[in-house]
Structure 1
Amino acid sequence: MSAPSYRDKLLSLHQSIVEIPSISPAEADVGNFLIDYLTEQGLATERQFLPSSDRFNVLAWPEPRASNRSRIVVTTHMDVVPPYLSYSRSGPEPPTAGTVIAGRGTSDAKGSVAAQTLAVLELMATGSVKGDDVMLVFVVGEEVNGDGMIHFSDVMTERGTRPSVAIFGEPTNSTLACGHKGGMACNIFAKGISGHSGYPKSGKSANEVLMRALVKAIDADLGNSELYGNTTVNVGLMTGGIAPNVIPDAANASLAIRIALGPQESGHIIVKDRLQEILTSVDSDAFTLECPFGFGVVETKCDVDGTF
């Protein structure tokens, strides 16, 4: 099978954006690159700045556009998780299905940025779309708290220009996803009593009670469903103590929890309540639980025929 005509252009764009670090919240360099690239390709572009911030989403659409609304939004995120990993390509050249492309963001989600961009450019080249049909939206902050997409959605709602359809780019093994787990970010603060480690009864280890609670939470059934599986807990960060021979009086952990329960508006609250019950069962006085951000499972429309 012959390669598509846009292959080299796609691979070149993909390499260029992967080579630009964009770990949240430092997305400006890749955003500026995309603004320049999309402008050179003949699209109208906009830096959509977040409130009281120099961070911005990248918006682009074909000209002309009769209104300030596009019917379809094609979107993904520009930011990536740490650490930065440089771009590399190994295997057959010219690339085949056996070629391995590696580097931070190659899949999640700069692969989507490149693929979505080239898809829109190809449709423009054939005259299949104009600005009223489609807009590219590449947001910041998805890997942290979704502030880029939240701001975009808020602006579109305020203007009365919400799209009819949104196509999201995320790694899904090239299948159309019917939904995804929700998410919740939590911080657990444990309080102890300081003392000397040579006299264990002189204090109460915040590290110890926190570790006991975390293990119990990881092993617990916090909620499951047939479609989305189990709710899972990742303990991403832990801190506690000041020295090896001092009983720590404070410790904390930051969690990323993937929610398998719905509905979207309240599924995470069920999980938070179950997590609080676990903390209380380990120590009724030691813990403070804060979960500033969360949502339940998100269902999407997937019974479409694949036509644009």
Structure 2
Amino acid sequence: MRVSVPVFLLGSFRVLGLELQQQPLRGAQAPSSIISPASDSNAPTYRGDLVSLHKSLVEISSISGNESDVGNFLVNYLEARDFVVQLEFLPPTNPSNPGKPRFNVLAWPGPNRHPSPKVLVSSHIDTVPPFIPYSRSDENPTADTVIAGRGSVDAKGSVAAQITALLSLLESGRIAGKEDSVMLLFVVGEETSGDGMRFFSETRGQLDPSPDFKAAIFGEPTEGRLVCGHKGIFTCNITVTGHAGHSGYPWLGKSATEVLARGLVSVLDTDLGSSEEFGNTTVNVGLFEGGVAANVIPEKATARLAVRVAVGPEIGGEKIVAERLQDVMRSVDEDAFEFDCNNGYGVVKCDCDVEGFETTTVNYGTDVHHLAGNHARYLYGPGTIFVAHGPDEAIKLGDLETAVEDFKKLILHALES
């Protein structure tokens, strides 16, 4: 018999360019179907439900900042399957123009409204722009069916596989007596600032009771491998002040664009920090602007950098690299540079000693760092990062199905550890 399960609202809390060449990491491969697909003769009983759920998620545009529609879909989907669902509303980033509400979706198997979860299973429901409509290579899906669309890999593939995995465990009775020991969390904002996970981490003490997680399983495209760690990141806004003048007499002024360009070249030619496990720190010059006219010596120039940090510690590794970067640029001109390097983090280590999984390291950032606590951290998911964020984002159904089985293994491993 279906239990009528309410949806609780937790609102703020209520009730509850230029780039240094990247060295390949160990185990990194070109885009391909890494996960061995399940054969169609042994198609899982949940195939139809998995395909339907994944399709519904990908069909809903949820570019970062506009995630409410896909969040509402998940609320209805999970509530219809006897989950207790809570919405965790984030404060508006612009109070004068709040727009649609943004919220994380928190859920666990009902009917207990006050669970004591030991394992958190999480991924993000926002995507990068632009929206790409859902498409499928076969009307009648097989393991080799290719499913395309924005978020099909990053990270709605993980969301669909995680939900299907937990539903399968519940149906099989393999976690009987531990049903509310597993909590689902689907967050907003991972692709931008990580504000969804950070807000959950900062406010989870207001849950009743406050969860004491022993393990957290994060879903991201890892090619079906268990990740032992990933690079850190920070961003840096750089402003150079020169002296304007006539371009025919460059010695009478100081070109801010020239100084900035020389500084950036020096940075790109310098090892800012490297390690055997994570390769070298890389710098992406995402934005470069300066000057007012071709015949005027530029007085101002700015650049915005994203730095992928290959050294630790997790808290502080980014500061080590930021200081090295600033020292290198100031060696070009001691007085011209101003730096605004935002908070980030160093390399993030994850737990990867689980039988039956290949392992790897990755270059991209995740929400793993943003969840505070002394818990085991597992990072895994279907699909490859090499197509995520691009026009050809797609995944094989066989990879999704194998991910369901692997998420089941990780949940059971975390519960038994």
Structure 2 length-normalised TM? 0.68
How far did 1:73 drift? 0.5
- Offset at residue 112 of structure 1 (A): 0.7
Corresponding residue for residue 115 of structure 1: 161
Secondary structure at 1:294 match in 2: coil
One-letter code aligned to 2:126: D
Q: Among the aligned pairs, what percent are the same residue? A: 54
**Structure 2 residue 170 is matched with structure 1 residue 124:** yes
Structure 1 residue 144 corresponds to structure 2 residue 177? no
How many Å separate the matches in 2 of 1:172 and 1:221? 27
Task: Supply the RMSD in Å over aligned alpha carbons.
Answer: 2.2
Residue in 1 that maps onto 2:61:
21
Displacement after TM superposition at 1:157 (Å):
4.3
Map of 2:114 onto structure 1:
67
Question: Aligned in 2, Cα 1:82/1:216: closer, same or farther, shift over 3 Å?
Answer: farther
Superposition map of 1:215-254 within 5 A: 215-254=265-304
Matches of 1:92 and 1:201, distance apart in 2:
69
Judge which range, 177-186 or 33-42, deviates more: 33-42
- Residue 261 of structure 1, CA deviation: 0.6
**1:45 corresponds to which letter in structure 2?**
V
Change in Cα spacing, 1:206 to 1:67, as seen in structure 2 (3 Å) is same
1:83 lines up with 2:123 in the alignment:
no
Alignment of 1:268-279 (within 5 A): 268-279=318-329
AA aligned to 2:271 is: D
**How many angstroms apart in 2 are the aligned matches of 1:247 and 1:182?**
37
Matches of 2:305 and 2:154 in 1, distance apart?
21
Residue 168 in 1 paired to residue 214 in 2?
A: no
Deviation at 1:197, TM superposition (A): 3.5
Count of aligned positions: 307
Tell me whether 42-51 or 125-134 shows the greater mean CA deviation: 125-134
Deviates more, 1:248-257 or 1:107-116: 248-257
Instruction: Say which SS state the counterpart of residue 293 (structure 1) adopts.
Output: coil
Whether the 8 Å contact between 1:50 and 1:151 is mirrored in structure 2 is yes
8 Å CA contact 1:61, 1:135 repeated in 2: yes
Give, in angstroms, the shift of residue 166 of structure 1.
0.3
Cα drift, residue 68 of structure 1: 3.7
SS of the residue corresponding to residue 301 of structure 1 reads coil
Kindly state the Cα deviation for residue 237 of structure 1 after the two structures are TM-superposed. Answer: 2.5
Question: In structure 2, how many angstroms separate the alpha carbons of the residues matched to 1:92 and 1:149?
Answer: 37
Closer, same or farther in 2 for the Cα pair 1:114/1:281, shift >3 Å?
same
The one of 331, 335, 338 aligned to 1:288: 338
How far is 1:300 from its partner? 1.4
> Does structure 2 retain, via aligned residues, the 8 Å contact 1:224–1:230?
yes
Structure 2 unaligned regions, length at least 5 = 1-38, 94-100, 356-408, 413-417
1:118-142 deviation line (CA, Å, top 9, x unaligned): 1112222223445521111111111
Q: Which amino acid aligns with 1:113?
A: V
Describe the SS at the equivalent of 1:279. helix
| Structure-2 change in CA distance of 1:212 and 1:155 (3 Å) | same
- 2:43 aligns with 3
TM-score by length of 1: 0.90
Is the alpha carbon distance of 1:131 and 1:204 closer, same or farther for their aligned partners in structure 2, counting shifts above 3 Å? farther
CA shift, 1:21, in A, is: 2.2
1:92-111 maps to which residues of 2 (within 5 A)? 93-97=140-144, 99-111=145-157
Structure 1 gaps, min length 5: none
Q: Which moved more, 1:282-291 or 1:77-86?
A: 77-86
Task: Decide whether aligned partners of structure 1 residues 102 and 203 sit closer, same or farther in structure 2, where only a CA change above 3 A counts.
Answer: farther
